Amino acid sequence: MAAVAAPVGAVCSFSPRDCRFFAISSSDGRLRVWETANSRLQHEYVPSAHLSAACTCLAWAPPGGRQPPNKVQDGPQRKKRKSEVAEVDRQLDILAVGTAVGSILLYSTIKGELQSKLDGGHDSRVNCVRWHQDTCCLYSCSEDKHIVEWNTQTCKVKCKWKGDNSSVTSLCISPDGKMLLSAGRTIKLWDLETKEVYRHFTGHATSVSSLTFTTVKPMNENKPFDGITGLYFLSGAIHDRLLSVWQVRSDRKEKNAVMSFTVTDEPIFIDLTVSEVKEEPVKLAVVCRDGQLHLFEHILNGYCKKPLTSNCTIQIATPGNDGDSTPKPVPILAAAFCSDKQSLLLVYGNTLQPIIEKVSLNTMESHICLIRDIQKVLSLKTDVALTKVKTPVVNSDTKVLVPGIPGHSTAVKTPASGKEKKKNKRKPGETGESIEERLEALDIDVSKVKTPGGLPQTDSFAVLLVQGLESNDAEILNRVLNTRKDNVIKNTVSRMPIHAVIPLLHELTKRLQGNPYSASLMVRWLKSVFTIHASYLSTLPDLIPQLGMLYQLMESRVKTLQKLSRLHGRLFILVTQVAASEAVQNVTEMNQTAKLVYEDESSEEEGSDDEMIADKESDENWDEDEEKEEQSGEQDMTVEKEINGDSDLEPGNESEEE
């Protein structure tokens, strides 16, 4: 019996011993082991790094073929009794848990604790782990393209080799334990002794998610059997609605699938009954992503051209009572055949508290719809469940504080001593208590409930936000998301429930895409969501497709940031220059008479021209003055001669001179 693949957001597996236990690790990182007989929680393990190192795959150790890892113990060890050895061997169940960081945890369901940790083999996410049925070896494959063989006794790597050019997604060991199937885009059959490829199988367009052998003996019993030739195995791929069946042949010519099974959606969990004789058909149970279970029954006897359809399809739905007449589908998480091969174990509901039920097979009907009241079953389980939590005995005078109602602020009041309790019955003629008095009796502070101006508080903002997201009411969402106060946004995001985080991110992404001008408001909400709920978002397995549109929007805006920064710088320089020129023009004129003048050579030349003009004018005046002086001198000389009677000149000469 084999259990492979996993439901959406969780990985799960049935124990190999009569499906006694069911292990599941959901998106919150907790490993839970349920008892299938009564749907009771047997163990719950919380890894220390469950938020950063989510569980990616599970595998139960085979019964009887493996011993637990050795632990160093101080002091002498006593020899175990035969009864103790038989009890340990009967109950020995070790879970190998692969993580997203490359480590593998070995958890003991008997002791309820972590047995050991395997490190150093992988650098990336572990996709699949498989135990060897005869030795204490464990095989694992990872996104780092390698396959690792572990020795669980020493917790060290025994062998490591490259399995594919891309990530290796699934493993399966042959019934004789000498061969290993590995799958990425192609399926390879390895010889475990030489670590060489024995066969290649091609046909899937996407990564293979599940591998399991369907037969342990060849159908043709006349030929000698080498342990692998003639065996059939089954494979399923991601986003593929066909399950392919392959046959290992000796001629190496046939590399394609010999037949296929068709389902309604991508298979997420597969279980089958191995065919041991030629006439025995293989029974196959396939759980699909849409929550349906398909049952197949077919004898593997060679090539089949057409895809085979299911013999029976099983669905689960609610009765649709309590005012809601529409039945709601309940997803099936996993299914496994019981030891009698005539009944099924169904696991349905949610991953945190699944419901496990045993159903007998009736393949005469092609479609079966089971009506189950999930809420009623869960309430009954809660009442009957046995827990280790003890309720203390509480005195009647002791006051117990309980969480307040969202939107209300509870004020703690000390009870007044010496006062008797009020009776609920009113006396005749006595008026009833007002609403305020009743609120005071419930210890609710009326002054805090009645907010001034009717403004909503942080609690009511969180309630309004959840209501708006669930009802898709644009008016309520606009009222909440248009706030600009950072402390109100932070408190609202911190007080909103976890299930509303992804719808809020979708709403913010839609608003960013439809109205880019609201980015200044939406970015504040995005910052608070990523800061406060980062640990929750990191646990979501489909976080990348959930935030793909938001990432593309941010990436497109960041690409234009450099060009906008350059344009902003140039515009800033231009605006600064324009403002500076306007400031110069607006300055008022002032008296700019110089207190000190310095004249260079050019000013001296201009001054010399002026001096030359002045000299010419002065020379003309000087000549006129000399003529006047000469005339006056001559007159004075003639007057003196006449007085003295001296005359050098003759009268005739004087007339000539005149």
SS (H, E, C) 462-506: HHHHHHHHHHCCHHHHHHHHCCCCHHHHHHHHHHCCHHHHHHHHH
> Which of 308-322, 355-369, 398-412 bottoms out in mean pLDDT, i.e. has the lowest?
398-412
| 446 pLDDT above the threshold of 50 | no
pLDDT at res. 70 = 45
pLDDT at res. 314 = 92
With cut-offs at 50, 70 and 90, classify the pLDDT of residue 588.
low
Cβ distance 317 to 327 under 8 Å? yes
Angle, helices 458-471 vs 486-495, to 10°: value is: 60
Nearest to 106 by CA among 97, 129, 171, 56: 97
| 234 pLDDT above the threshold of 90 | yes
pLDDT digits over 596-620, tens only? Answer: 777 776 555 555 555 565 555 555 5
Task: Please tell me whether the overall predicted TM-score, pTM, comes out greater than 0.85 for this model.
Answer: no
Higher pLDDT, 654 or 166: 166
Three-state DSSP state, 551? helix
Cα(200)–Cα(333) distance, integer angstroms: 32
Cα(229)–Cα(590) distance, integer angstroms: 109
**Dihedral, 368, 374, 379, 380 alpha carbons, nearest 10:** 0
> Which of 37-41, 264-268, 400-404 bottoms out in mean pLDDT, i.e. has the lowest?
400-404
With cut-offs at 50, 70 and 90, classify the pLDDT of residue 144.
very high
Cα(534)–Cα(501) distance, integer angstroms: 10
Nearest to 139 by CA among 98, 101, 94, 175: 98
Tokens read off for 76: 């002498």
Nearest to 137 by CA among 106, 167, 102: 106
- What does 255-305 look like in DSSP terms, one character per residue? -S-SEEEE-SS-EEEEEEEPB-STTPPEEEEEEETTS-EEEEEE---S---
Nearest to 228 by CA among 247, 204, 241, 209: 247
Cα(130)–Cα(142) distance, integer angstroms: 12
pLDDT at res. 167 = 92
Tokens read off for 556: 């497109």
Cα(163)–Cα(197) distance, integer angstroms: 9
Residues 6+ apart with CB under 8 A from 281: 275, 297, 298, 299
| 216 pLDDT above the threshold of 80 | no
pLDDT at res. 414 = 46
Find the radius of gyration of the CA atoms of the chain: 49
Q: Can you tell me the mean pLDDT for 386-398? A: 49
pLDDT at res. 644 = 54
pLDDT digits over 86-143, tens only? Answer: 444 444 578 999 988 899 999 888 888 888 999 988 999 999 999 998 877 999 999 9
DSSP bridge partners of 527: none
Cα(95)–Cα(138) distance, integer angstroms: 11
Cβ distance 425 to 432 under 8 Å? no
Backbone angles phi, psi at 393, to 5 degrees: -75, 125
pLDDT at res. 179 = 92
Q: Can you tell me the mean pLDDT for 349-369? A: 86
Cβ distance 273 to 19 under 8 Å? no
With cut-offs at 50, 70 and 90, classify the pLDDT of residue 292.
very high
Amino acid, res. 34: W
* Long-range pairs, 122-126, Cβ under 8 A, ≥24: 122/146, 122/148, 124/167, 125/56, 125/99, 125/100, 125/101, 126/56, 126/57, 126/98, 126/99, 126/100, 126/102
pLDDT at res. 452 = 44
CA 623, distance to chain mean position in Å, is 114
Higher pLDDT, 559 or 411: 559
pLDDT at res. 655 = 44
- Sign of the Cα torsion 553, 556, 560, 562 reads positive
pLDDT at res. 333 = 93
pLDDT winner (highest mean) among 37-41, 324-328, 410-414: 37-41
As a whole number, the mean pLDDT across the chain is 76
* Polymer length of the chain: 658
pLDDT at res. 252 = 67
| 397 pLDDT above the threshold of 70 | no
**First and final CA of the chain: distance in angstroms?**
168
> Which of 250-259, 375-384, 479-488 bottoms out in mean pLDDT, i.e. has the lowest?
375-384
- Sign of the Cα torsion 502, 508, 513, 519 reads negative
Q: Can you state the percent helix, strand and coil of the chain, rounding each to 5? A: 30, 25, 45
pLDDT digits over 409-437, tens only? Answer: 444 444 444 444 444 455 555 556 666 66
Percent of the chain topping pLDDT 70 = 68
| 464 pLDDT above the threshold of 70 | yes
| 545 pLDDT above the threshold of 60 | yes
Q: Report CA-CA distances (Å) from 209 to 6, 228, 238, 296.
A: 9, 22, 6, 19
